[in-house]
Chains A and B, each alone.
Chain A
Amino acid sequence: MPAFVPDARDEDLMLAYAAGDAVAFATLYARHKGGVYRYVLRHCGHAGVADELFQDVWMNVVRARISYAPSAKFTTWLYRIAHNRLIDHWRATGHVELVTAGPDDTGDDPLDAIPGARNDEPEVRAGAHEISARLHAALSALPPAQRETFLLHQEGGLELAEIAAVTGAGVETVKSRLRYALAKLRAELGDLQ
Protein backbone atom coordinates (compact mmCIF):
# COMPACT_ATOMS: atom_id res chain seq x y z
CA MET A 1 0.00 0.00 0.00
CA PRO A 2 1.59 3.29 -1.03
CA ALA A 3 2.34 5.87 1.60
CA PHE A 4 0.94 9.27 0.75
CA VAL A 5 2.72 12.43 1.58
CA PRO A 6 0.61 14.90 3.55
CA ASP A 7 0.52 17.43 0.74
CA ALA A 8 -0.51 15.05 -1.95
CA ARG A 9 -2.93 16.46 -4.46
CA ASP A 10 -6.58 15.73 -3.97
CA GLU A 11 -6.83 14.36 -7.47
CA ASP A 12 -4.02 11.88 -6.87
CA LEU A 13 -5.61 10.78 -3.66
CA MET A 14 -8.91 10.24 -5.39
CA LEU A 15 -7.23 8.25 -8.14
CA ALA A 16 -5.48 6.18 -5.54
CA TYR A 17 -8.74 5.54 -3.83
CA ALA A 18 -10.31 4.61 -7.12
CA ALA A 19 -7.51 2.09 -7.46
CA GLY A 20 -8.47 0.61 -4.11
CA ASP A 21 -6.48 2.60 -1.60
CA ALA A 22 -8.72 3.29 1.37
CA VAL A 23 -6.07 5.37 3.09
CA ALA A 24 -6.20 7.88 0.28
CA PHE A 25 -9.90 8.25 0.83
CA ALA A 26 -9.34 8.78 4.53
CA THR A 27 -6.91 11.55 3.74
CA LEU A 28 -9.35 13.17 1.37
CA TYR A 29 -12.14 12.87 3.84
CA ALA A 30 -10.08 14.42 6.60
CA ARG A 31 -9.28 17.36 4.38
CA HIS A 32 -12.77 18.15 3.19
CA LYS A 33 -15.21 16.72 5.63
CA GLY A 34 -15.54 19.97 7.60
CA GLY A 35 -16.13 22.17 4.60
CA VAL A 36 -18.65 19.88 3.04
CA TYR A 37 -20.44 19.36 6.31
CA ARG A 38 -20.69 23.08 7.01
CA TYR A 39 -21.74 23.73 3.45
CA VAL A 40 -24.59 21.30 3.82
CA LEU A 41 -25.42 22.37 7.34
CA ARG A 42 -25.58 26.06 6.47
CA HIS A 43 -27.91 25.25 3.63
CA CYS A 44 -30.37 23.03 5.41
CA GLY A 45 -29.96 24.47 8.90
CA HIS A 46 -30.70 21.14 10.58
CA ALA A 47 -27.99 18.89 11.94
CA GLY A 48 -29.88 15.68 11.38
CA VAL A 49 -30.67 16.48 7.79
CA ALA A 50 -27.16 17.76 7.34
CA ASP A 51 -25.77 14.47 8.60
CA GLU A 52 -27.90 12.54 6.18
CA LEU A 53 -27.04 14.75 3.28
CA PHE A 54 -23.40 14.80 4.23
CA GLN A 55 -23.28 10.99 4.29
CA ASP A 56 -25.04 10.84 0.96
CA VAL A 57 -22.50 13.19 -0.53
CA TRP A 58 -19.59 11.09 0.54
CA MET A 59 -21.23 7.87 -0.44
CA ASN A 60 -21.78 9.35 -3.86
CA VAL A 61 -18.07 10.12 -3.92
CA VAL A 62 -17.33 6.54 -3.01
CA ARG A 63 -19.62 5.14 -5.65
CA ALA A 64 -18.41 7.57 -8.31
CA ARG A 65 -14.75 6.70 -7.77
CA ILE A 66 -14.69 4.37 -10.78
CA SER A 67 -15.78 7.09 -13.16
CA TYR A 68 -13.70 9.79 -11.59
CA ALA A 69 -11.42 11.62 -14.00
CA PRO A 70 -9.27 14.49 -12.84
CA SER A 71 -10.55 16.87 -15.47
CA ALA A 72 -11.14 19.53 -12.82
CA LYS A 73 -10.18 20.16 -9.26
CA PHE A 74 -11.36 17.54 -6.85
CA THR A 75 -13.09 20.16 -4.73
CA THR A 76 -15.08 21.30 -7.73
CA TRP A 77 -16.22 17.76 -8.34
CA LEU A 78 -16.92 17.19 -4.65
CA TYR A 79 -18.97 20.32 -4.16
CA ARG A 80 -20.88 19.70 -7.33
CA ILE A 81 -21.98 16.41 -5.84
CA ALA A 82 -22.96 18.22 -2.67
CA HIS A 83 -24.78 20.91 -4.63
CA ASN A 84 -26.72 18.32 -6.61
CA ARG A 85 -27.59 16.50 -3.45
CA LEU A 86 -28.93 19.72 -1.95
CA ILE A 87 -31.03 20.38 -5.02
CA ASP A 88 -32.45 16.90 -4.74
CA HIS A 89 -33.16 17.60 -1.13
CA TRP A 90 -34.89 20.84 -1.92
CA ARG A 91 -36.94 19.21 -4.55
CA ALA A 92 -37.86 16.36 -2.29
CA THR A 93 -38.94 18.70 0.49
CA GLY A 94 -40.95 20.99 -1.73
CA HIS A 95 -38.69 23.96 -1.56
CA VAL A 96 -38.29 26.31 -4.45
CA GLU A 97 -35.82 24.97 -6.89
CA LEU A 98 -32.32 26.13 -6.22
CA VAL A 99 -31.94 27.76 -9.57
CA THR A 100 -28.57 29.20 -10.00
CA ALA A 101 -28.89 30.31 -13.55
CA GLY A 102 -30.45 33.66 -13.96
CA PRO A 103 -29.77 37.27 -14.39
CA ASP A 104 -26.80 38.71 -12.75
CA ASP A 105 -27.31 40.34 -9.48
CA THR A 106 -29.78 42.96 -10.27
CA GLY A 107 -31.68 42.64 -7.10
CA ASP A 108 -34.44 40.60 -8.60
CA ASP A 109 -32.86 37.20 -8.12
CA PRO A 110 -35.69 34.73 -7.61
CA LEU A 111 -33.59 32.94 -5.07
CA ASP A 112 -33.89 35.91 -2.87
CA ALA A 113 -37.48 34.88 -2.36
CA ILE A 114 -36.45 31.69 -0.66
CA PRO A 115 -36.86 32.11 3.07
CA GLY A 116 -33.84 31.73 5.28
CA ALA A 117 -33.28 29.15 7.90
CA ARG A 118 -34.57 29.38 11.43
CA ASN A 119 -31.25 30.79 12.50
CA ASP A 120 -32.24 34.16 11.19
CA GLU A 121 -35.08 34.35 13.61
CA PRO A 122 -34.49 36.97 16.31
CA GLU A 123 -34.73 34.59 19.23
CA VAL A 124 -32.15 32.26 17.82
CA ARG A 125 -29.90 35.09 16.97
CA ALA A 126 -30.05 36.41 20.54
CA GLY A 127 -29.33 33.11 22.21
CA ALA A 128 -26.15 32.18 20.38
CA HIS A 129 -22.69 33.41 20.85
CA GLU A 130 -22.74 36.88 19.61
CA ILE A 131 -20.37 36.88 16.71
CA SER A 132 -21.02 33.41 15.64
CA ALA A 133 -24.70 33.81 16.03
CA ARG A 134 -24.86 37.02 14.22
CA LEU A 135 -22.67 35.71 11.44
CA HIS A 136 -24.73 32.63 11.05
CA ALA A 137 -27.86 34.70 11.17
CA ALA A 138 -26.53 37.01 8.54
CA LEU A 139 -25.61 34.05 6.39
CA SER A 140 -28.97 32.53 6.86
CA ALA A 141 -30.55 35.77 5.86
CA LEU A 142 -28.73 35.69 2.57
CA PRO A 143 -30.56 34.48 -0.50
CA PRO A 144 -29.72 30.82 -1.15
CA ALA A 145 -27.77 31.55 -4.29
CA GLN A 146 -25.64 34.16 -2.52
CA ARG A 147 -25.30 31.93 0.49
CA GLU A 148 -24.27 29.02 -1.66
CA THR A 149 -21.77 31.14 -3.49
CA PHE A 150 -20.36 32.41 -0.25
CA LEU A 151 -20.19 28.95 1.25
CA LEU A 152 -18.53 27.48 -1.82
CA HIS A 153 -16.05 30.29 -1.76
CA GLN A 154 -15.47 30.21 1.99
CA GLU A 155 -15.77 26.55 2.88
CA GLY A 156 -14.76 24.91 -0.36
CA GLY A 157 -12.12 27.45 -1.26
CA LEU A 158 -13.40 27.53 -4.82
CA GLU A 159 -12.61 30.31 -7.22
CA LEU A 160 -15.27 32.13 -9.17
CA ALA A 161 -14.93 29.92 -12.20
CA GLU A 162 -15.10 26.82 -10.06
CA ILE A 163 -18.17 28.10 -8.27
CA ALA A 164 -19.66 28.81 -11.65
CA ALA A 165 -18.86 25.27 -12.73
CA VAL A 166 -20.48 23.86 -9.62
CA THR A 167 -23.58 25.95 -9.67
CA GLY A 168 -23.95 26.20 -13.41
CA ALA A 169 -24.11 29.99 -13.25
CA GLY A 170 -21.96 32.41 -15.09
CA VAL A 171 -18.79 33.65 -13.62
CA GLU A 172 -20.11 37.18 -13.48
CA THR A 173 -23.22 36.01 -11.75
CA VAL A 174 -21.14 34.20 -9.20
CA LYS A 175 -19.05 37.26 -8.77
CA SER A 176 -22.10 39.46 -8.14
CA ARG A 177 -23.60 36.96 -5.74
CA LEU A 178 -20.42 36.76 -3.79
CA ARG A 179 -20.10 40.51 -3.69
CA TYR A 180 -23.63 40.90 -2.42
CA ALA A 181 -23.12 38.24 0.20
CA LEU A 182 -19.96 39.77 1.51
CA ALA A 183 -21.52 43.18 1.67
CA LYS A 184 -24.42 41.94 3.75
CA LEU A 185 -22.18 39.96 6.10
CA ARG A 186 -19.81 42.85 6.47
CA ALA A 187 -22.71 45.11 7.33
CA GLU A 188 -23.90 42.57 9.87
CA LEU A 189 -20.50 42.36 11.53
CA GLY A 190 -19.74 46.08 11.28
CA ASP A 191 -21.00 47.02 14.62
CA LEU A 192 -19.06 44.27 16.38
CA GLN A 193 -15.83 46.18 16.17
Chain B
Amino acid sequence: MTTAKSGDRNALRDPRVDAAWRAASREEPPPALDAAILAAARREVGAGPQSARGREAMHASRRWWPLAVAATLGAITFGLLQSVTPDRLGAPVSDNAIVTDMPTPVAKPVPEIVKPLPPKEASTPSDGNEAGEGRAAPRVDSPQRTATAERARPRTNAPPGPATATKEPAERKMESASRDGSALPEPFPAGSRQPGPAAIADATTTAAPAIAGGIAPTSAPAEPSSPKTSTAAPASERTPAERDAVTSAQSAAAPVRAPSPPAFAAAQRLQESPAARPSSVAKMAAGGANEGRAEEARVKDRAPLPVAEWIALIRRLRAEGNAADAARELAAFRAAHIDHERLLPPDLRDWRPQEK
Protein backbone atom coordinates (compact mmCIF):
# COMPACT_ATOMS: atom_id res chain seq x y z
CA MET B 1 0.00 0.00 0.00
CA THR B 2 2.85 2.28 0.79
CA THR B 3 4.37 1.35 -2.51
CA ALA B 4 1.14 2.13 -4.27
CA LYS B 5 0.90 5.46 -2.48
CA SER B 6 4.41 6.45 -3.38
CA GLY B 7 3.69 5.30 -6.93
CA ASP B 8 0.65 7.51 -7.04
CA ARG B 9 2.69 10.38 -5.66
CA ASN B 10 5.31 9.87 -8.32
CA ALA B 11 2.63 9.59 -10.95
CA LEU B 12 1.23 12.92 -9.74
CA ARG B 13 4.63 14.58 -9.99
CA ASP B 14 6.21 15.58 -13.25
CA PRO B 15 9.70 17.04 -12.89
CA ARG B 16 9.43 18.92 -16.09
CA VAL B 17 6.17 20.49 -15.16
CA ASP B 18 7.40 21.30 -11.70
CA ALA B 19 10.54 22.96 -13.00
CA ALA B 20 8.65 24.86 -15.65
CA TRP B 21 6.10 25.93 -13.08
CA ARG B 22 8.69 27.13 -10.64
CA ALA B 23 10.41 29.05 -13.40
CA ALA B 24 7.25 30.59 -14.74
CA SER B 25 5.24 31.20 -11.63
CA ARG B 26 7.04 33.80 -9.52
CA GLU B 27 4.40 36.37 -8.99
CA GLU B 28 4.32 37.96 -5.60
CA PRO B 29 1.84 40.29 -4.02
CA PRO B 30 2.74 43.95 -4.26
CA PRO B 31 4.84 45.28 -1.39
CA ALA B 32 2.14 47.77 -0.56
CA LEU B 33 -0.28 44.93 -0.15
CA ASP B 34 2.20 43.12 2.04
CA ALA B 35 2.64 46.15 4.21
CA ALA B 36 -1.10 46.70 4.46
CA ILE B 37 -1.78 43.12 5.46
CA LEU B 38 1.04 43.01 7.99
CA ALA B 39 -0.01 46.32 9.45
CA ALA B 40 -3.57 45.11 9.74
CA ALA B 41 -2.40 41.93 11.38
CA ARG B 42 -0.26 43.85 13.85
CA ARG B 43 -3.08 46.24 14.51
CA GLU B 44 -5.49 43.43 15.19
CA VAL B 45 -3.32 41.69 17.71
CA GLY B 46 -1.37 44.73 18.77
CA ALA B 47 -4.41 46.27 20.40
CA GLY B 48 -4.96 43.28 22.60
CA PRO B 49 -1.59 42.51 24.10
CA GLN B 50 -0.50 46.13 24.23
CA SER B 51 -3.63 47.13 25.99
CA ALA B 52 -3.24 44.17 28.27
CA ARG B 53 0.32 45.21 29.02
CA GLY B 54 -0.85 48.72 29.57
CA ARG B 55 -3.52 47.55 31.92
CA GLU B 56 -0.98 45.42 33.73
CA ALA B 57 1.42 48.32 34.01
CA MET B 58 -1.35 50.54 35.25
CA HIS B 59 -2.38 47.85 37.66
CA ALA B 60 1.18 47.52 38.91
CA SER B 61 1.42 51.23 39.44
CA ARG B 62 -1.93 51.32 41.21
CA ARG B 63 -0.76 48.54 43.45
CA TRP B 64 1.49 51.05 45.19
CA TRP B 65 -1.24 53.54 45.86
CA PRO B 66 -2.56 51.93 49.06
CA LEU B 67 0.96 51.62 50.38
CA ALA B 68 1.66 55.24 49.65
CA VAL B 69 -1.58 56.30 51.29
CA ALA B 70 -0.85 54.12 54.32
CA ALA B 71 2.66 55.52 54.62
CA THR B 72 1.37 59.06 54.39
CA LEU B 73 -1.30 58.46 56.99
CA GLY B 74 1.22 56.78 59.22
CA ALA B 75 3.59 59.70 58.96
CA ILE B 76 0.81 62.16 59.71
CA THR B 77 -0.37 60.13 62.65
CA PHE B 78 3.12 59.85 64.02
CA GLY B 79 3.63 63.56 63.68
CA LEU B 80 0.36 64.29 65.42
CA LEU B 81 1.20 61.93 68.22
CA GLN B 82 4.58 63.52 68.60
CA SER B 83 3.14 67.00 68.79
CA VAL B 84 0.01 66.34 70.82
CA THR B 85 1.08 63.86 73.45
CA PRO B 86 4.76 64.21 73.97
CA ASP B 87 4.39 63.50 77.66
CA ARG B 88 2.99 60.07 76.91
CA LEU B 89 5.66 59.34 74.43
CA GLY B 90 8.19 60.54 76.90
CA ALA B 91 10.32 62.39 74.39
CA PRO B 92 10.99 65.66 76.24
CA VAL B 93 11.27 64.16 79.66
CA SER B 94 15.02 64.38 79.74
CA ASP B 95 14.93 68.08 78.86
CA ASN B 96 12.36 68.78 81.46
CA ALA B 97 14.33 66.80 83.98
CA ILE B 98 17.37 68.86 83.31
CA VAL B 99 15.49 72.09 83.62
CA THR B 100 13.60 71.09 86.70
CA ASP B 101 16.47 69.71 88.65
CA MET B 102 15.17 71.66 91.56
CA PRO B 103 12.92 70.64 94.32
CA THR B 104 10.58 73.55 94.70
CA PRO B 105 8.85 74.54 91.46
CA VAL B 106 6.62 71.53 91.41
CA ALA B 107 4.36 72.44 94.28
CA LYS B 108 3.20 75.69 92.83
CA PRO B 109 -0.56 75.48 92.55
CA VAL B 110 -2.35 78.43 93.93
CA PRO B 111 -4.63 77.33 96.71
CA GLU B 112 -7.38 79.73 95.70
CA ILE B 113 -8.06 78.06 92.40
CA VAL B 114 -8.06 74.52 93.66
CA LYS B 115 -11.11 73.28 95.39
CA PRO B 116 -10.58 70.94 98.28
CA LEU B 117 -11.53 67.42 97.60
CA PRO B 118 -13.48 65.28 99.99
CA PRO B 119 -11.34 63.58 102.58
CA LYS B 120 -11.99 60.27 100.96
CA GLU B 121 -10.08 61.31 97.87
CA ALA B 122 -7.42 63.16 99.73
CA SER B 123 -5.01 60.30 99.96
CA THR B 124 -4.89 59.65 96.25
CA PRO B 125 -3.79 63.10 95.19
CA SER B 126 -1.28 63.01 97.96
CA ASP B 127 0.27 59.97 96.42
CA GLY B 128 0.12 61.60 93.08
CA ASN B 129 1.77 64.63 94.51
CA GLU B 130 4.61 62.61 95.77
CA ALA B 131 4.97 60.99 92.41
CA GLY B 132 4.67 64.33 90.75
CA GLU B 133 7.43 65.79 92.85
CA GLY B 134 9.51 62.85 91.98
CA ARG B 135 8.63 63.54 88.39
CA ALA B 136 9.63 67.14 88.58
CA ALA B 137 12.88 66.07 90.05
CA PRO B 138 15.58 65.03 87.66
CA ARG B 139 15.20 61.66 86.11
CA VAL B 140 18.82 61.05 86.74
CA ASP B 141 19.30 59.70 90.17
CA SER B 142 21.39 62.52 91.48
CA PRO B 143 23.18 61.81 94.71
CA GLN B 144 22.08 65.08 96.17
CA ARG B 145 18.44 64.36 95.65
CA THR B 146 18.79 60.89 96.99
CA ALA B 147 20.49 62.26 100.04
CA THR B 148 17.74 64.82 100.43
CA ALA B 149 15.12 62.14 100.34
CA GLU B 150 17.05 60.13 102.82
CA ARG B 151 17.26 63.08 105.13
CA ALA B 152 13.62 63.91 104.72
CA ARG B 153 12.40 60.49 105.60
CA PRO B 154 12.94 60.57 109.34
CA ARG B 155 11.22 63.92 109.54
CA THR B 156 8.33 62.62 107.56
CA ASN B 157 7.92 59.60 109.69
CA ALA B 158 8.34 61.45 112.92
CA PRO B 159 4.79 62.66 113.46
CA PRO B 160 2.23 59.93 113.83
CA GLY B 161 -0.27 61.81 111.74
CA PRO B 162 -2.91 60.22 109.61
CA ALA B 163 -1.15 61.17 106.43
CA THR B 164 1.97 59.33 107.40
CA ALA B 165 0.57 55.98 106.47
CA THR B 166 -0.32 57.15 103.03
CA LYS B 167 2.79 59.16 102.37
CA GLU B 168 5.26 56.55 103.31
CA PRO B 169 4.50 54.24 100.37
CA ALA B 170 4.26 57.28 98.25
CA GLU B 171 7.74 58.25 99.15
CA ARG B 172 8.91 54.80 98.40
CA LYS B 173 7.22 55.06 95.07
CA MET B 174 8.90 58.35 94.45
CA GLU B 175 12.25 56.97 95.30
CA SER B 176 11.79 53.97 93.09
CA ALA B 177 10.52 56.21 90.36
CA SER B 178 13.47 58.49 90.64
CA ARG B 179 15.66 55.47 90.61
CA ASP B 180 14.35 53.96 87.39
CA GLY B 181 13.40 57.31 85.94
CA SER B 182 10.29 56.13 84.16
CA ALA B 183 6.58 55.42 84.48
CA LEU B 184 5.89 58.74 86.07
CA PRO B 185 3.32 61.22 84.85
CA GLU B 186 4.69 64.40 83.45
CA PRO B 187 3.48 67.39 85.43
CA PHE B 188 4.41 69.92 82.79
CA PRO B 189 4.72 68.45 79.36
CA ALA B 190 6.85 70.33 76.97
CA GLY B 191 4.99 73.06 75.20
CA SER B 192 1.60 73.92 76.55
CA ARG B 193 2.17 73.00 80.15
CA GLN B 194 5.55 74.49 80.68
CA PRO B 195 5.65 76.95 83.54
CA GLY B 196 5.91 80.56 82.62
CA PRO B 197 9.09 82.59 82.69
CA ALA B 198 8.27 83.95 86.11
CA ALA B 199 7.90 80.50 87.45
CA ILE B 200 11.16 79.48 85.89
CA ALA B 201 12.78 82.51 87.42
CA ASP B 202 11.23 81.57 90.68
CA ALA B 203 12.63 78.13 90.36
CA THR B 204 16.00 79.58 89.54
CA THR B 205 15.99 81.77 92.57
CA THR B 206 14.95 78.98 94.81
CA ALA B 207 17.35 76.56 93.30
CA ALA B 208 20.37 78.00 95.03
CA PRO B 209 19.17 77.58 98.58
CA ALA B 210 17.60 74.33 97.70
CA ILE B 211 20.81 72.91 96.46
CA ALA B 212 22.86 74.53 99.11
CA GLY B 213 20.58 73.72 101.98
CA GLY B 214 19.14 70.56 100.68
CA ILE B 215 15.53 71.59 100.74
CA ALA B 216 13.28 68.62 100.77
CA PRO B 217 9.82 69.56 99.61
CA THR B 218 8.37 66.40 100.99
CA SER B 219 9.64 67.26 104.39
CA ALA B 220 7.57 70.39 104.63
CA PRO B 221 4.20 68.80 105.29
CA ALA B 222 5.78 66.45 107.76
CA GLU B 223 6.25 69.08 110.39
CA PRO B 224 3.22 68.81 112.60
CA SER B 225 5.11 69.96 115.64
CA SER B 226 4.98 73.51 114.40
CA PRO B 227 1.35 74.18 113.69
CA LYS B 228 1.92 77.66 112.44
CA THR B 229 4.29 76.48 109.79
CA SER B 230 2.67 75.97 106.51
CA THR B 231 3.38 72.80 104.70
CA ALA B 232 3.81 74.60 101.45
CA ALA B 233 5.70 77.44 102.93
CA PRO B 234 8.50 77.35 100.42
CA ALA B 235 6.04 77.28 97.61
CA SER B 236 3.62 79.79 99.03
CA GLU B 237 6.02 82.52 99.96
CA ARG B 238 6.00 84.28 96.66
CA THR B 239 5.75 87.77 95.51
CA PRO B 240 2.47 88.81 93.88
CA ALA B 241 4.17 88.97 90.50
CA GLU B 242 5.33 85.42 90.81
CA ARG B 243 1.93 84.35 91.92
CA ASP B 244 0.39 86.02 88.93
CA ALA B 245 2.85 84.30 86.67
CA VAL B 246 2.11 80.95 88.13
CA THR B 247 -1.61 81.58 88.00
CA SER B 248 -1.46 82.64 84.39
CA ALA B 249 0.62 79.64 83.50
CA GLN B 250 -1.84 77.33 85.16
CA SER B 251 -4.83 79.03 83.66
CA ALA B 252 -3.19 78.75 80.27
CA ALA B 253 -2.74 75.06 80.80
CA ALA B 254 -6.23 74.57 82.15
CA PRO B 255 -8.17 74.65 78.87
CA VAL B 256 -5.88 72.08 77.39
CA ARG B 257 -6.28 69.60 80.12
CA ALA B 258 -7.60 69.27 83.59
CA PRO B 259 -5.14 69.95 86.34
CA SER B 260 -2.53 67.31 86.28
CA PRO B 261 -2.34 64.95 89.21
CA PRO B 262 0.86 66.40 90.61
CA ALA B 263 -0.44 69.96 90.62
CA PHE B 264 -3.76 68.83 91.93
CA ALA B 265 -2.09 66.79 94.58
CA ALA B 266 0.06 69.70 95.59
CA ALA B 267 -3.02 71.75 96.17
CA GLN B 268 -4.55 68.89 98.07
CA ARG B 269 -1.48 68.65 100.16
CA LEU B 270 -1.81 72.25 101.00
CA GLN B 271 -5.42 71.81 101.94
CA GLU B 272 -5.12 68.67 103.91
CA SER B 273 -1.77 69.24 105.49
CA PRO B 274 -2.01 69.00 109.26
CA ALA B 275 0.47 71.82 109.44
CA ALA B 276 -1.46 74.11 107.20
CA ARG B 277 -4.87 73.56 108.64
CA PRO B 278 -4.13 74.65 112.18
CA SER B 279 -2.37 77.67 110.81
CA SER B 280 -5.38 78.78 108.84
CA VAL B 281 -7.69 77.98 111.72
CA ALA B 282 -5.60 80.03 114.03
CA LYS B 283 -5.65 82.86 111.60
CA MET B 284 -9.40 82.64 111.35
CA ALA B 285 -9.66 82.77 115.10
CA ALA B 286 -7.46 85.80 115.35
CA GLY B 287 -10.34 87.97 114.25
CA GLY B 288 -10.51 91.18 112.42
CA ALA B 289 -7.76 92.80 114.42
CA ASN B 290 -5.29 90.36 113.11
CA GLU B 291 -6.69 90.51 109.61
CA GLY B 292 -3.73 92.34 108.19
CA ARG B 293 -1.25 90.18 109.98
CA ALA B 294 -2.98 87.04 108.88
CA GLU B 295 -3.03 88.28 105.35
CA GLU B 296 0.64 89.04 105.58
CA ALA B 297 1.36 85.62 106.93
CA ARG B 298 -0.69 84.05 104.18
CA VAL B 299 1.27 85.95 101.64
CA LYS B 300 4.48 84.91 103.23
CA ASP B 301 3.39 81.35 103.30
CA ARG B 302 3.11 81.20 99.61
CA ALA B 303 6.62 81.72 98.42
CA PRO B 304 9.89 80.49 99.79
CA LEU B 305 12.61 82.95 100.35
CA PRO B 306 16.28 82.54 99.89
CA VAL B 307 18.14 81.74 103.00
CA ALA B 308 19.72 85.13 103.34
CA GLU B 309 16.48 86.97 102.79
CA TRP B 310 14.64 84.67 105.10
CA ILE B 311 17.18 85.23 107.83
CA ALA B 312 17.03 88.93 107.19
CA LEU B 313 13.25 88.83 107.44
CA ILE B 314 13.38 86.99 110.73
CA ARG B 315 15.87 89.43 112.08
CA ARG B 316 13.81 92.34 110.90
CA LEU B 317 10.67 90.98 112.50
CA ARG B 318 12.54 90.32 115.68
CA ALA B 319 14.04 93.77 115.61
CA GLU B 320 10.63 95.30 115.05
CA GLY B 321 9.41 93.52 118.11
CA ASN B 322 7.17 91.21 116.17
CA ALA B 323 8.36 88.18 118.02
CA ALA B 324 5.43 86.03 117.08
CA ASP B 325 5.95 86.49 113.39
CA ALA B 326 9.67 86.16 113.82
CA ALA B 327 9.14 82.91 115.66
CA ARG B 328 6.77 81.71 113.02
CA GLU B 329 9.20 82.53 110.26
CA LEU B 330 11.98 80.89 112.21
CA ALA B 331 9.93 77.77 112.65
CA ALA B 332 9.08 77.77 108.98
CA PHE B 333 12.70 78.19 108.13
CA ARG B 334 13.62 75.29 110.30
CA ALA B 335 10.92 73.22 108.80
CA ALA B 336 12.03 74.03 105.32
CA HIS B 337 15.69 73.50 105.88
CA ILE B 338 16.90 70.30 107.35
CA ASP B 339 20.28 71.71 108.11
CA HIS B 340 18.86 74.85 109.59
CA GLU B 341 21.31 74.65 112.43
CA ARG B 342 24.10 75.18 110.02
CA LEU B 343 22.30 77.82 108.00
CA LEU B 344 21.03 79.90 110.83
CA PRO B 345 23.33 82.44 112.35
CA PRO B 346 24.18 81.87 115.97
CA ASP B 347 21.89 84.59 117.27
CA LEU B 348 18.88 83.10 115.53
CA ARG B 349 19.96 79.56 116.17
CA ASP B 350 19.73 80.04 119.86
CA TRP B 351 16.84 82.44 119.80
CA ARG B 352 13.53 81.20 121.11
CA PRO B 353 10.25 83.04 121.14
CA GLN B 354 9.95 82.45 124.79
CA GLU B 355 13.04 84.50 125.40
CA LYS B 356 11.15 87.48 124.37
Chain A contacts to B: CB under 8 angstroms: 17, 20-22, 25-26, 29, 33-34, 37-38, 41-42, 51, 54-55, 58-59, 62-63, 65, 129, 131-132, 135-136, 153-155, 160, 175, 178-179, 182, 185-186, 189, 192
Contacts and interface: CB of A to CB of B under 8 A. Distances in A.
Question: Which 3 interchain pairs have the tightest Cβ spacing?
Answer: A132-B24, A20-B49, A22-B42
B220 to A, nearest CB: 88
B11 interface: yes
B48 A20 contact: yes
B17 A186 contact: yes
**Binding site secondary structure of chain B:** helix
B347 to A, nearest CB: 107
A51 B29 contact: yes
B55 to A, nearest CB: 13
Interface string B133-173: 00000000000000000000000000000000000000000
A59 B37 contact: yes
B121 to A, nearest CB: 79
B64 interface: no
Interface string B13-52: 0101110110111111110011011101110111011001
A19 B16 CA distance: 42
26 contacts: A17-B45, A22-B42, A22-B45, A25-B38, A25-B42, A29-B34, A33-B34, A34-B26, A34-B28, A34-B29, A41-B27, A51-B30, A51-B33, A58-B37, A62-B37, A62-B40, A65-B45, A129-B24, A131-B20, A132-B25, A135-B20, A136-B25, A154-B21, A182-B14, A186-B17, A192-B20
A189 B15 CA distance: 12
B12 interface: yes
Contacts of A25: 38, 41-42, 45
Given A20-B48, A41-B27, A54-B33, A186 B14 contact: yes
B8 interface: yes
Contacts of B41: 17, 22, 25-26, 29, 58, 62
Given A25-B42, A189-B16, 5 more contacts: A21-B45, A25-B41, A34-B28, A38-B27, A51-B33
Interface of B: 8, 11-12, 14, 16-18, 20-21, 23-30, 33-34, 36-38, 40-42, 44-46, 48-49, 52
Given A20-B49, A33-B34, A175-B12, A136 B44 contact: no
A160 B12 contact: yes
Given A22-B45, A25-B45, A29-B34, A153 B28 contact: no
B29 A179 contact: no
Nearest to B28: A34
Instruction: Pick from B17, B18, B28, B33 the residue with the most CB of A within 10 Å.
Output: B17
A138 to B, nearest CB: 9
Of A22, A41, A42, A179, the most chain B CB neighbours within 10 A belong to: A22
A163 to B, nearest CB: 10
A34 B27 CA distance: 7
Contacts of B29: 33-34, 37, 51, 54
Nearest to B25: A38
A129 to B, nearest CB: 8
A186 B19 CA distance: 12
Nearest to B26: A34
Contacts of A135: 20-21, 24-25
A190 to B, nearest CB: 9
Nearest to A25: B41
A132 B46 CA distance: 41
Nearest to A28: B41
B23 A154 contact: no
